[in-house]
């Protein structure tokens, strides 16, 4: 039996680093964000251009232009999600089947909006990656092009960190450092694979 662990956490919590730790431990990881980036360079680009003219360049979605068109506009965002979410879901299903065919005992679905999209219903257990708000803000505001207003807009669309932690089966606090996070990852793997 293959166990599906959903990995989530708000922006700037260390989710990508944690996902890499699972990969380094030999656990297959599906990244919804990586899938979206790939789709924006391929299959989704013409569909997005049709719905939002002028948001692609050279056959790729221009994320800055697209963000300008949909940010703060719920109807536009819903239209975009109706295009992208089914494509992302198809890629997830393909990943799951390939992992199952290879005999994987545990896989990770790295889905930033796990709770927001109802994806927690598609996993066996949930791991929430967290950090204190001060650290989160420092991490995110250090990113190129990020502003406090933009961060607040992103956080407004996400389930609050405290609620995510309450709904989690496992929690990793990334403010404790890489060594502690790696130990937590190993502990989670052993608890799920050696059940």
pLDDT in tens, 129-163: 999 999 998 898 888 888 888 888 888 888 999 99
CATH topology for the 3-193 domain = Rossmann fold (3.40.50)
- Which residues partner with 57 through β-bridges? 60
Tokens for 97, please give them: 């089947």
In angstroms, the Cα distances linking 71 to 3, 47, 94, 154, 195 are: 36, 18, 30, 9, 44
pLDDT single digits (tens) 14-47: 999 999 999 999 999 999 999 999 999 999 999 9
- Which residues partner with 108 through β-bridges? 5, 29
The CA dihedral of 89, 93, 98, 100, to the nearest 10 degrees, is: 140
Task: Report d(CA 17, CA 75) in Å as an integer.
Answer: 33
pTM score, whole prediction: 0.88
- Grade residue 117 by pLDDT with cuts at 50, 70 and 90: confident
Domain ranges of the chain: 3-193
| Cβ–Cβ under 8 Å, residues 33 and 84 | no
**Residue, of 12 and 145, whose pLDDT is higher:** 12
Beta strands 56-57 and 60-61, pairing class: antiparallel
């Amino acid at each position: 039996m293959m166990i599906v662990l959903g990995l989530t956490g708000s922006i700037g919590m260390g989710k990508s680093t944690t996902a890499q730790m699972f990969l380094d431990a030999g656990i297959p990881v599906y990244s919804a964000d990586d899938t979206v980036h790939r789709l924006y360079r391929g299959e989704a680009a013409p569909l997005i251009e049709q719905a939002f003219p002028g948001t692609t360049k050279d056959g790729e979605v221009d994320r800055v232009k697209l963000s300008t068109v949909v940010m703060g506009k719920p109807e536009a965002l819903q239209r975009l999600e109706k295009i992208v979410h089914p494509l992302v879901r198809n890629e997830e299903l393909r990943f799951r089947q390939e992992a199952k065919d290879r005999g994987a005992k545990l896989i990770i679905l790295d889905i930033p909006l796990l709770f927001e999209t109802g994806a927690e219903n598609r996993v066996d257990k949930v791991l929430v990656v967290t950090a204190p708000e001060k650290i989160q803000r420092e991490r995110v505001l250090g990113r190129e092009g990020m502003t406090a207003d933009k961060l607040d807009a992103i956080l407004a669309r996400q389930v609050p960190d405290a609620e995510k932690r309450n709904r989690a089966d496992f929690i990793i606090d990334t403010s404790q450092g890489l060594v502690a996070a790696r130990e937590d990852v190993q502990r989670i793997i052993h608890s799920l694979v050696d059940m």
